[in-house]
Amino acid sequence: MAQYNTLLYYCYSTIADAEQFAADHLKFCKSLGLTGRIIVAAEGLNGTVSGTTEACKTYMDTVHADPRFAGIDFKVDVVDTPSFVKMHVRYKSEIVHSGLRDPNVINPQQQTGKHLEPKDFLAMKDRDDVVVLDVRSNYEHSLGKFKNAVTLDIENFRDFPEMINQLAQYKDKKILTYCTGGIKCEKASALLLHEGFKDVYQLHGGIIKYGKEAGGEDFEGKCYVFDNRLSVDVNSVNPVVISTCRNCGKVTPKMINCANPECNEHFTQCDECGTKLEGCCSDACQSHPRKREYDGTGYYVKVPQPVNVQKKGKIQLAGE
């Protein structure tokens, strides 16, 4: 039986002609038989890809050989089947949507919070002079978060800048930010510093790396991931389930997307309510004419979106 890997990574590094790079990189990924989702912007890369162990190794080796991406820290999960169905590489204005696009104000290549390795984060997180800050969205931290972490009422990371004033009470504390893999913390910590917070840190490699290197201690619940697994276990030391079914209130670790594509809300739902509502968050969504067929997973393949595919000679990994 073939063994597969799923790679989670990001890199803030300037990419000239990023739109063409996205088209070239898509060809490269498909040549390896990979599936996944990668965002390319002038500021860098943000990706999750999945494939055979051999294909993933070739991908990592090739990307690391490019000086722009030599420092990428790949988080590697062993999986039974690929974590995606298709391969997408998309060009966007940012590799994580924050609205913080002016590099003269926020530039993770120049200034971010101090990176903490998982063991150092573990050692610091319960100190009286420390505040642990979750910079993820509501649906993510409702599924799982660090014990006693401060969470924000935001639907998307782009709402984070609006919450800075609510964090002013913590300006005299050490702020330890965390997210899934680290990418959101790069901009969140940079913005906190820009807004006058003096002592800002970030969990290097995010929750995923913390689970691998620190046993996930005191991370309560599961971690939402952006592939067809939807969530993964993190804590092998003192695990608990903290999420509840939106419909009946029963404790459940299961996260799904609403089967109504016009809703597509991320929410927690037990199997019983999932069967009853056919994977929908409400009766109204269940009766929607475009409702997708619910197979018990709550994951739906997104319709592919094209990237710039102008032909400029032989397609190869940009920078080779």
The residues annotated with a catalytic role in the active site are 179
Nearest to 176 by CA among 155, 156, 146: 146
∠ CA 222-227-231, nearest 5°, is 10
Quote the pLDDT of residue 99: 81
Enter the tokens of residue 219. Answer: 């991370």
Enter the tokens of residue 194. Answer: 């820009």
Quote the pLDDT of residue 305: 39
Instruction: Calculate the CA dihedral of residues 20, 23, 27, 28 and round it to 10 degrees.
Output: 50
Quote the pLDDT of residue 302: 61
312 exposure class (CB count in 10 Å sphere: 0-12, 13-18, 19+): exposed
Quote the pLDDT of residue 102: 77
Quote the pLDDT of residue 318: 37
Quote the pLDDT of residue 103: 77
Give the ranges where 33-182 is alpha helix by DSSP (H): 53-65, 118-124, 138-141
- Determine contact, residues 132/174, Cβ cutoff 8 Å: no
Exposed e or buried b for every residue in 97-130, given b needs 16+ CB within 10 A? ebbbeeeeebbbeeebbebbebebbbeebeeeeb
- Determine contact, residues 188/106, Cβ cutoff 8 Å: no
Quote the pLDDT of residue 308: 39
Evaluate if pTM is beyond 0.85. yes
Q: Which residues of the chain have pLDDT under 50?
A: 303-320
Alpha-carbon distance of 83 to 314, in angstroms, equals 30
